[in-house]
Structure 1
Amino acid sequence: MIATGGKQERVEEGQTLSVELLGKAEGEAVEFAPVLVVDGETVLAGPAQLAGAKVTARVVGETKGPKIRGFTYKPKTRGRTKWGHRQHYTEIEITGIQR
């Protein structure tokens, strides 16, 4: 389990997932500090046990999330605003988990 972009994700080797924009070029390697490592019956949690653990990943590319549309309206003043947002994400592929 890794933490990135204020969120925690459960990952396995070979998995591809979208995370908050990292600002890395395609093909670059990225390292994450794990929050929790579960290996069969062994569970590693806490800073002392996870001191040497790391998760490596490769940047596959960038994608966009779904379009979000919003509308605000203020009565009696003709105030109305239509807005939209589309979040950018970085696609990564988990290449290794070291304990």
Structure 2
Amino acid sequence: MLAVVKIAGQQFKVKAGDSLYVPHIEGNDGDKVEFSEVLLTDNAGAISVGAGVKAVVKAEIIKSLIQGDKVIAFKMKRRKGFRKKHGHRTHYTQIKVTDIA
């Protein structure tokens, strides 16, 4: 069974057993989470979309906090002596989809 689920404002295509990185979710390692905002399901060719979808994606948090790659934002104006350097690392959570019900 395949599902498209909306997690923290982003859409992910998931199957049972998939492991993926999603934007940071509150919780600890081993916690169970459910995502009820399912946009599409495909069950052996039977596709349901929109309001007709009655599914819930169940997952388990594997690692609660993972930092992404460092991103540097550098601004400079020539001949003015203006330089500004900002950086950040986006936080992610690794989850494993256990069931689509």
TM-score (norm 1): 0.89
Aligned counterpart in structure 2 of residue 57 of structure 1, from 48, 56, 59 = 59
Aligned counterpart in structure 2 of residue 26 of structure 1, from 25, 29, 38 = 29
Q: Distance in 1 between matches of 2:48 and 2:69?
A: 35
Q: Distance in 1 between matches of 2:58 and 2:48?
A: 17
CA-CA distance at 1:31 after TM superposition: 0.6
Q: Distance in 1 between matches of 2:86 and 2:14?
A: 34
Counterpart amino acid of residue 91 in structure 1? Q
Counterpart amino acid of residue 35 in structure 1? L
For residues 76-99 of structure 1, give each alpha carbon's deviation from its aligned partner in whole angstroms, at most 9, with x where no partner exists: 43111112111010110000001x
Greater shift after overlay, 76-85 or 58-67?
Answer: 76-85
> After TM superposition, where is structure 1 displaced by more than 2 Å over at least 4 residues in a row?
74-77
% same residue: 31
Match runs of 1:34-53 below 5 Å: 34-47=38-51, 49-50=52-53, 52-53=54-55
Runs of 5+ unmatched residues, structure 2: none
* Count of equivalent residues: 96
Q: Indicate the residue corresponding to 2:92 in structure 1.
A: 89
Counterpart amino acid of residue 43 in structure 1? I
TM-score (norm 2): 0.88
Greater shift after overlay, 89-98 or 77-86?
Answer: 77-86
Runs of 5+ unmatched residues, structure 1: none
CA-CA distance at 1:74 after TM superposition: 2.4
